[in-house]
Amino acid sequence: MSKKKKLVAEESPERAQMWELYNSTMKAIQEGQIVEGSIVEKGEKDVLVDIGYKSEGVLPAEEFEDFEKVAVGDKVEVLLDRLEDEDGMPVLSKTKAERQRKWDDVVQNKDEGDTVIGTVKGKVKGGLVVDVGVDAFLPGSQIDVTPVRDLDPFIGQDIECKILKINKERRNIVLSRRDLLEDQRREQKQALLKEIKVGEKRMGVVKNITDFGAFVDLKGMDGLLHITDMSWGRINHPSEVVQQGQELEVIVLDVNLDKERISLGLKQLQANPWDEIEMKYPKGARVHGKVVNLVPYGAFVQLEPGVEGLVHVSELSWTKRIARASDVLSVGDEVDAVVLNINKEEQKISLGIRQTEANPWDDVADKYPIGSRVKGKVRNFTNYGAFIELEEGVDGMIHVSDMSWTRKINHPSELLQKGQEVEAVVLEVSPENQRISLGLKQAQEDPWSGISNRYHLGQLIKGKVTKLASFGAFVELEEGVDGLVHISQISDDHVAKIRDVLQPGQVVEARIVKIDPVDRRIGLSIKAANVSDEDFQVDDSMLEGLRPGEDLVDLAGAFDAALSSSDSKPEEWSPGQAEYDEPKGE
């Protein structure tokens, strides 16, 4: 026995008994321990609690759920924070005791991977605080299978989570709601794939929208509602038909068990407007619609939802030359049109807007009979002719071969200019092909008409040299009529180069040695001019270079050959080498 205990025992047995009780209590109570106490006094804002220690501890009213119901004598469980404060009183906490009990309960009864239900208490950095008996942390990335931007709707909600980690040292629990949802969805997905059938109708919620369609949650997995299966009509973006979070009925189009994919349809719940399209819009019927899209080659006109027809740019007007549909139409315009053709299999309708008006080509044959003279302005050139505007939308074409009696025209710009007013003769009219052939030279007198009456073989003429070629020189007999002096018929002396003895503009005298009115050719001989009329006779030497097969002097080819000739060309010239063989007609 210690000296102190011995003295106490000698003084009083009662004091010795109290000393023993105090020592046993001190040994039983330790800081951080949960002990049971009794309320011995109640004040307005706190209570005194006897835990069997040398002095009572204080509990504030805030630690009780309903302080008004607290009474003296009530038992209460508290945690001993410290044995004594500066006043020698124990520091107690009812809240910490309850928290400790809950923590112990969670640790003893739950393991990592177990499922718990808790109430979301609030937001913290990076996630939510969930009360599962103790405060646990639910990271933002673990809240749902998809990222959650707004956490506020979760506050105050009871949610089911899986325990990811328990850290006993740090008294920390990390939860995951996503893992639990993914487990549930995997089970639902397998069940859905087993029971879902093509052709059946299902209710779903639009989960996500992309440019090519929408993903619909079928309560187990997502199905794809492609943009082409949303509506029979034209859709620029899926958001025009569905909205995220929208509940809608869809039909199952395809189920791929290997790839675990489901294709859905929305338009298939409605009748296909193309099923009876030929009855609703027969060929030749006049229709009314709205322009919904413009492309360079035409305009798409909606006749009803899901039914569009194409007005090709060539079917917009009988008379106007329209390069692009957007030049005359705008999206949203309401127009009348005529059904030209229907392809039910390809779901195509050809429409014409110009067919709603009279075709000016229908009476063009009466307005421009063959042989009549017409006037018009040169509108455009091609390599083979010029287009003459007779009236708005009605053009005639002058082929290069019908531009001049005397010249070979390689390009219409050699004779005409854009905007120039010309007079021509109607040669041919084809309303069905919308073509009128015109002749410019036919509106003028043919200088070769009656040529045999004005000229004869052996006739002595004077003329001006107009062009030089390696094979000879062209001499103008009259306007529009030239003859050719072959190089062998220029002089009795040998002539190596034409330009050594003749020059353009020079006046020469010659005899006619050949006349061919059909091929519009005249052969001349300067040498024969020195022979008297009585002695003149055409011989083979005069026709050298003018023999058949070596055709010469019609100005539809000869002049151009002369312009492009050089000294290196052969002595004999064949106009066939310079003939323009572009086909006649547009």
pLDDT digits (tens, 9 = 90+) for 45-63: 999 999 888 889 999 988 8
Amino acid at 119: T
Provide the b/e sequence for 22-34 (b: ≥16 CB within 10 Å). eeeeeeeeeeeee
C-alpha to C-alpha distance for 492 and 528, rounded to whole angstroms:
10
Q: Each residue of 153-208: pLDDT tens digit?
A: 999 999 999 999 988 777 788 999 998 888 888 888 888 888 889 999 999 999 89
pLDDT of the residue at 276:
86
CB 93 within 8 A of CB 58: no
What integer is the mean pLDDT of 71-90? 87
Of 356, 377, 403, the residue that ends a domain is 356
Q: In whole numbers, what is the pLDDT of the chain averaged over residues?
A: 83
Is the pLDDT score of 515 beyond 60? Answer: yes
CATH code of the domain in which 395 resides: 2.40.50.140
C-alpha to C-alpha distance for 528 and 510, rounded to whole angstroms:
7
| 191 is a domain residue | no
284 and 254 in a single domain? The answer is no
Q: Assign 206 to helix, strand or coil.
A: strand
| 6 is a domain residue | no
pLDDT of the residue at 110:
79
Burial of 402 (0-12, 13-18, 19+ CB in 10 A): buried
570 and 459 in a single domain? The answer is yes
pLDDT of the residue at 265:
93
Of 219, 250, 269, the residue that ends a domain is 269
Is the pLDDT score of 524 beyond 50? Answer: yes
Closest by alpha carbon to 398, among 406, 407, 318, 389? 389
- Cross-strand partners of 119: 131, 158
| 8 is a domain residue | no
| Domain span holding position 501 | 451-578
The total number of structural domains that make up the chain: 6
pLDDT of the residue at 235:
82
455 and 554 in a single domain? The answer is yes
| 210 is a domain residue | yes
C-alpha to C-alpha distance for 485 and 522, rounded to whole angstroms:
9
pTM value > 0.85: no
Is the pLDDT score of 44 beyond 60? Answer: yes
465 and 560 in a single domain? The answer is yes
pLDDT of the residue at 252:
93
**Biggest alpha carbon distance in the chain?**
194
C-alpha to C-alpha distance for 44 and 220, rounded to whole angstroms:
57
**Tokens at 234, concatenated:** 């034209």
Closest by alpha carbon to 509, among 535, 534, 521, 491? 491
| 415 is a domain residue | yes
Beta carbons within 10 angstroms of residue 448's beta carbon = 20
471 and 566 in a single domain? The answer is yes
573 and 455 in a single domain? The answer is yes
Is the pLDDT score of 132 beyond 90? Answer: no
Of 375, 408, 443, the residue that ends a domain is 443
